[in-house]
Amino acid sequence: MTTTITITGAGGQIGYALLFRIAAGDLLGPDERVRLKLLEIPQGLRGAEGAALELQDGAFGLLESVDVTDDAGVAFDGTNIAFLVGSRPRTAGMERGDLLAANGGIFGPQGQALNAGAADDVRIVVVGNPANTNALIAAAHAPDIPSERFTALTRLDHNRAVGQLSTLLGVPASEVRDVTIWGNHSATQFPDVAHATVGGRGVPELLAERFGGEVAARAWLADEFIPRVAKRGAEIIEVRGSSSVASAANAAIDHVRDWVHGTQNGWTSVALPSDGSYDVPAGLVSSFPARSVDGAWQIVRDLDLDDFAAPRIAASVAELVEEREAVRTLGLL
């Protein structure tokens, strides 16, 4: 069988990092052939065409075809997996909210094109920022596609949180389980370690050991860990001079691979339309702890949220509500 995969913004940085890993089998495994459809705006077409030439030069055994187009109808026709990357990245000094007006307008028409042509089993991940609200806009324009097929990427934040814990505790990242990113892919997100474990031991207990008590551990979480993870995008922009690329592409691959093949190591974090769980208003695209079971995301239920977690989640959800109001005002919803 062959899977059709559409990548928007394929001529950009993240697109370039994604394409070769998908062609090499990192997304769907060594037995699944892929057909790639690269969507760009006219000024980005040459970049995507160049990437297509290099894909040919890679002689990838799994790669059946590569099409480059600036027509969303062509790009989404028959697509099984859509990476919605195409949009403007923020630059130094911008907050993600500044991108609402700049990028929101892209996602309504793309939602309509997906609705018109995508395969029945389509899975969509929005990478372009502000990712949660862009996914909300796209889903609202695709009434025939079940809304839970529209997700936004918070796996990068999840991986960042795992990376920080792995470094601090001196353990491989693969041993860190059940971290959660709640809320928005923005500085208000809440990276939550309350239920996380390493080697079967609770991370809160390990942090208390490391910092000499629960109070000091909580202070480290509040003052160091949470801001470090939540503002890592800005740190990368400052240090690299442009926003994250390879780690973002890697996270997008992790997200879709787990969605298709199932989560392996505990749960992960996915922004998806709320079903009302954890008091997140229904329909809002918010990040939750989730497992992929039989090819569909399931929110992990009934986690206890203490007075450290609950207000932080509520604050990020409030920002998502504000973003929804802002795009309504702009006429994008």
Catalytic residues: 185
Q: Which entry of ligand LMR, ligand NAD, none binds 236, CB below 5 to 8 A by partner kind?
A: ligand LMR
Q: Which entry of ligand NAD, ligand LMR, none binds 106, CB below 5 to 8 A by partner kind?
A: ligand NAD
Is residue 273 at the binding interface for ligand NAD, with CB under 6 A as the rule? no
Q: Which is nearer to ligand LMR, 9 or 233 (CB)?
A: 233
Measured at CB, which residue is nearest to ligand LMR? 233
Is residue 13 at the binding interface for ligand NAD, with CB under 6 A as the rule? yes
CA dist., res. 278 & res. 297, Å (int):
16
The DSSP annotation for 271-304 comes to EEE--SGGGPPTT-EEEEEEEEETTEEEEPP---
Rg (CA), the chain: 19
> What single-letter amino acid sits at 287?
S
Q: Which tokens is 312 given? A: 């932080």
Strands (E), 129-213: 150-152, 176-177, 180-182, 190-192, 197-198, 201-202
Q: Tokens 């094109």 label which residue?
A: 113
Is residue 230 at the binding interface for ligand NAD, with CB under 6 A as the rule? no
Kindly state the smallest distance separating residue 64's Cβ from ligand LMR, in Å: 31
Q: Decide: 229 and 157 in contact? Cβ < 8 Å.
A: yes
Q: Decide: 89 and 127 in contact? Cβ < 8 Å.
A: no
Phi–psi pair at 44, nearest 5 degrees: -100, 0
Give the per-residue contact string, 76-105, with ligand NAD (x = CB under 6 A; - = no): ---------xxxxxx---------------
Measured at CB, which residue is nearest to ligand NAD? 12
In terms of Cβ atoms closer than 10 Å to its own Cβ (0-12, 13-18, 19+), residue 258 is: buried
Annotated binding-site residue? 13: yes
Is residue 39 at the binding interface for ligand NAD, with CB under 6 A as the rule? yes
Is residue 255 at the binding interface for ligand NAD, with CB under 6 A as the rule? no
Q: Which entry of ligand LMR, ligand NAD, none binds 324, CB below 5 to 8 A by partner kind?
A: none
CA 235, distance to chain mean position in Å, is 18
> What single-letter amino acid sits at 136?
L
Is residue 245 at the binding interface for ligand LMR, with CB under 6 A as the rule? no
Is residue 11 at the binding interface for ligand NAD, with CB under 6 A as the rule? yes
Strand partners, 234: none
Kindly state the smallest distance separating residue 221's Cβ from ligand NAD, in Å: 22
Closest CA relative to residue 110, chosen from 78, 145, 72, 148: 72
CA dist., res. 37 & res. 65, Å (int):
8
From the list 79, 132, 133, 244, which residue makes contact with ligand LMR (rule: CB under 6 A)? 244
Q: Which entry of ligand LMR, ligand NAD, none binds 111, CB below 5 to 8 A by partner kind?
A: none
Q: Which entry of ligand LMR, ligand NAD, none binds 128, CB below 5 to 8 A by partner kind?
A: ligand NAD
Interface contacts to ligand NAD, rule CB under 6 A: 8-9, 11-15, 39-41, 44, 47, 85-90, 106, 127-129, 131, 153, 156, 185, 243-245, 248
Detail the residues annotated as belonging to a binding site for NAD(+): 9-15, 103, 110, 127-129
